[in-house]
């Protein structure tokens, strides 16, 4: 049993949002009691005490849209000439990576990002793998590597027609097999969504195959309207927007996660709202792609649940700050506060994870899942909950995390990963990066003086 105390307890529970000098008692994988440190130390004298040292004790953070393999795979970006345009070059780069990245390489790379998430106080990630393999079990193996590191994950493999018909068939099977396996297996920290790449990369034939193959109770995790070209292509070829193509097939429902939504129209937003779907705002990914930014303010006005994803950044607090800057720029409002970013990160993300895992996650209260982060941050003054959110979003960083607990299990403490050999993970990932580089550059044998280029 653990007792995490001597800090400002931020519960995200409306009935008791803040507890000064608070503590949380953890028994197994659940929270058994919250209260003041003094009272709980009297009630549970036998518990191992974890001293927050006056910092913030809060629920573990949630990343609503990520590509865990992407941070290291971005080392290979920019190698394709742009003579055919940005979209064509990006598609060609992805196709080359499809052929170069082996299952083991992706698992090794994914685990590095999973550990980075845990180091930043993230306990749950919704991952969408963008690499296309014609190898069975790939995404399940990748999800397993993240779960072994201690991370809770909702995994999905992005189905696309950008490669061959056989590869698309393999991706369909990978999603369906993973969903079927996880539905039967007793995996507390793994679940799955049905992954889709941008609808502009899916033919009607393959999208119909997706519709037929998706289990009725499974939600989709799809990239939607992340580039103006996505809707232009869909409109010209199919006479519908990306959103309309998915909606008309019944694939947008109250479990759907629609990532980016950079170029959605008013009518698209109305369809999303009517279905009760989640939008995953990804400000970092939108800036990196240069395609624009989602109309977050308009979506929030319509009552669409807008979550926050990092796109592989692994620090949701950093993504929240980017979201503020992006929206201020888009709306030309330098006085826009951080409240909407806090709502996305702390409320909408928690609603999403509860929808998929069926557990009380994202709140600290009796009976809730013991996902906890201890942050080495002391707020200024004596703020109420709203003002505290402003300080946490604008001043706190994932690097301030001192302890991460998932399902009552300590996975990171004082900067050290507990249950995984981090140096071994890094060593295997470095070897995988070299393997991919050699394949991309057609190097059969490594020269004696070979060095990785900067």
What DSSP state is assigned to residue 369?
B
Look at residue 109 and tell me whether its pLDDT is greater than 60: yes
Domain chopping of the chain, boundaries: 2-60+363-417, 61-357
User: In this structure, which long-range contacts are made by residues 102-107, counting pairs with CB atoms below 8 Å and at least 24 apart in sequence?
Assistant: 102/432, 102/435, 103/133, 103/135, 103/137, 103/138, 103/141, 103/142, 104/432, 105/432, 105/435, 105/436, 106/69, 106/131, 106/138, 106/142, 106/432, 107/141, 107/142, 107/144, 107/145
Look at residue 326 and tell me whether its pLDDT is greater than 90: yes
pTM: 0.90
| DSSP string over 135-197 | STTHHHHHHHHHHHTT-EEEEEE-B-SSS-HHHHHHHHHHHHHHHHHHHHS--TTEEE-EEE-
Q: Residue 131: exposed, middle, or buried by beta-carbon count in 10 A (0-12, 13-18, 19+)?
A: buried
Supply the pLDDT for residue 168: 77
Domain at 2-60+363-417: CATH architecture: Roll (2.30)
Instruction: Determine the average pLDDT of the residues in 131-143.
Output: 62
- Alpha helix (H) ranges present in 14-129? 37-43, 70-73, 86-100, 103-119
Q: Tell me whether domains 2-60+363-417 and 61-357 share a fold.
A: no
Separation between Cα atoms, residue 363 and residue 101, nearest integer Å = 38
Per-residue pLDDT band for 96 (boundaries 50, 70, 90) equals low
Summarize pLDDT for 382-414 with one digit per residue, the tens.
Answer: 888 889 999 999 999 999 999 999 999 999 999
- Phi and psi at 437, nearest 5°, equal -60, -45
Who has greater pLDDT, 177 or 31? Answer: 31
Per-residue pLDDT band for 348 (boundaries 50, 70, 90) equals very high
Q: Residue 421: exposed, middle, or buried by beta-carbon count in 10 A (0-12, 13-18, 19+)?
A: exposed
Summarize pLDDT for 194-245 with one digit per residue, the tens.
Answer: 999 899 989 999 899 999 988 888 999 999 999 888 889 999 999 999 999 9
Per the CB < 8 A criterion, the answer to whether 159 and 223 are in contact is no
Look at residue 313 and tell me whether its pLDDT is greater than 50: yes
Q: Which residues 6+ apart lie within 8 Å of 288 measured at CB?
A: 311
Supply the pLDDT for residue 138: 61
Instruction: Determine the average pLDDT of the residues in 273-291.
Output: 93
Distances (CA, A) of 316 to 49, 62, 190, 283: 28, 8, 20, 11
Instruction: Determine the average pLDDT of the residues in 277-285.
Output: 96
Look at residue 84 and tell me whether its pLDDT is greater than 50: no
Supply the pLDDT for residue 89: 43
Look at residue 86 and tell me whether its pLDDT is greater than 70: no
Please tell me the CATH code under which domain 61-357 is placed. Answer: 3.20.20.140
- Phi and psi at 113, nearest 5°, equal -65, -35
Summarize pLDDT for 20-77 with one digit per residue, the tens.
Answer: 999 999 999 999 999 999 999 999 999 999 999 999 999 999 999 998 887 666 666 5
Look at residue 308 and tell me whether its pLDDT is greater than 90: yes
């Amino acid at each position: 049993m653990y007792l995490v105390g001597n800090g400002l307890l931020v519960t995200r529970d409306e009935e008791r949002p803040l507890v000064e000098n608070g503590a949380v008692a953890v028994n197994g994988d659940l929270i058994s009691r919250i209260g003041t440190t003094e009272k709980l130390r009297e009630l549970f004298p036998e518990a191992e005490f974890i001293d927050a040292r006056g910092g913030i004790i809060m629920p573990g953070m949630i990343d609503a849209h990520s590509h865990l393999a992407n941070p290291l795979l971005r080392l290979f970006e920019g190698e394709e000439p742009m003579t055919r345009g940005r979209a064509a070059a990006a598609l060609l780069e992805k196709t080359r990576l499809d052929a170069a990245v082996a299952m083991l390489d992706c698992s090794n790379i994914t685990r590095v990002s999973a550990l980075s998430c845990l180091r930043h106080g993230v306990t749950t990630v919704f991952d969408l793998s963008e690499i296309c393999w014609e190898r069975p079990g790939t995404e399940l193996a990748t999800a397993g590597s993240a779960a072994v590191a201690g991370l809770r994950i909702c995994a999905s493999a992005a189905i696309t027609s950008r490669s061959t018909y056989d590869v698309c068939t393999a991706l369909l099977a990978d999603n369906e097999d993973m969903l079927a396996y996880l539905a039967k297996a007793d995996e507390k920290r793994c679940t799955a969504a049905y992954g889709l790449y941008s609808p502009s990369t899916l033919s009607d034939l393959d999208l119909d195959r997706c519709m037929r193959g998706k289990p009725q109770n499974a939600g989709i995790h799809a990239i939607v309207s992340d580039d103006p070209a996505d809707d232009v292509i869909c409109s010209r070829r199919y006479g519908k927007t990306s959103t309309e193509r998915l909606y008309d097939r019944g694939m947008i429902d109250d479990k759907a996660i629609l990532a980016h939504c950079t170029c959605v129209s008013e009518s698209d937003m109305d369809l999303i709202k009517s279905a009760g779907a989640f939008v995953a705002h990804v400000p970092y990914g939108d800036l990196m792609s240069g395609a624009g930014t989602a109309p977050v303010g308009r979506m929030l006005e319509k009552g669409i649940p807008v979550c926050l994803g990092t796109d592989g950044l692994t620090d949701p607090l950093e993504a929240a700050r980017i979201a503020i800057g992006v929206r201020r720029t888009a709306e030309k409002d330098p006085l826009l506060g951080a409240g909407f970013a806090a709502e996305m990160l702390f409320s909408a993300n928690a609603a999403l994870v509860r929808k998929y895992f069926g557990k009380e996650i994202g709140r600290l209260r009796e009976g809730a899942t013991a996902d906890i982060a201890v942050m080495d941050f002391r707020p200024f003054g004596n703020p109420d909950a709203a003002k505290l959110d402003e300080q946490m979003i604008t001043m706190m960083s994932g690097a301030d995390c001192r302890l991460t607990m998932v399902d009552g299990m300590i996975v990171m403490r004082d900067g050290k990963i507990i249950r995984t050999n981090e140096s071994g993970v890094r060593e295997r990932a470095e070897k995988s990066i070299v393997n991919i580089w050699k394949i991309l550059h057609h190097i059969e044998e490594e020269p004696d003086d070979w060095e990785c280029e900067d």
